[in-house]
């Protein structure tokens, strides 16, 4: 399994192309508020951008906190989300150690990076990468 990492954020210009791609491709929205990857500036308008994205925890605290199993542990780290099982309690968001689970203000549903990598193709400066997780071959059997 692969995990998304924002390993070269020094290249980021804050264009939000990754956030908009995620929102459009996965959530059918044109708002970066409905994205599994959030870009924030720690240095002003032109430098110091940081990506807030799921770390791919294994075990994932958000999945452990979910009372309905809407969040399930993904092999190799991160989670799979079954939105139709979600009761909008917000336990997943509160359990995330890096605040990477966002509760949509309109629908009340959680939004989290699922490590699909679609956003990486839209980054004009190659800031995002997909890495193989640490799952061993013996785990795949």
Q: Give the architecture (CATH level 2) of 2-140.
A: 2-Layer Sandwich (3.30)
Residue 141 scores a pLDDT above 70: no
Average pLDDT, integer, range 50-76? 94
| pLDDT at site 137 | 39
DSSP 65: H
- Which residue do the tokens 């970066």 mark? 32
Residue 140 scores a pLDDT above 50: no
| pLDDT at site 135 | 55
Cα gap 136→13, rounded to integer Å = 36
Tell me the per-residue pLDDT of 80-97, one tens digit each, with 9 for 90 and over: 999 999 999 999 999 999
CA distances, 54 to each of 17, 46, 124, 137 (Å)? 18, 24, 21, 24
Q: Which helix (H) or strand (E) holds 17?
A: helix 17-27
């Amino acid at each position: 399994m692969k995990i998304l990492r924002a390993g070269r954020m020094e290249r980021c210009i804050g264009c939000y192309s990754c956030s908009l791609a995620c929102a459009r491709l996965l959530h059918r929205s044109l708002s970066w508020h409905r994205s599994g990857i959030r870009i924030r500036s720690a240095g002003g308008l032109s430098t110091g951008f940081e990506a807030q994205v799921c770390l791919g925890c294994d075990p994932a605290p958000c999945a452990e906190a979910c009372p309905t199993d809407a969040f399930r542990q993904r092999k190799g780290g991160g989670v799979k989300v079954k939105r139709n099982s979600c009761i909008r309690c917000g336990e997943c968001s509160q359990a995330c150690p890096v605040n990477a689970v966002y509760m949509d203000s309109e629908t009340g549903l959680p939004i989290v990076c699922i490590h699909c990598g679609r956003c990486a193709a839209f980054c004009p400066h190659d800031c995002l990468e997909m890495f193989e997780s640490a799952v061993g071959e013996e785990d795949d059997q």
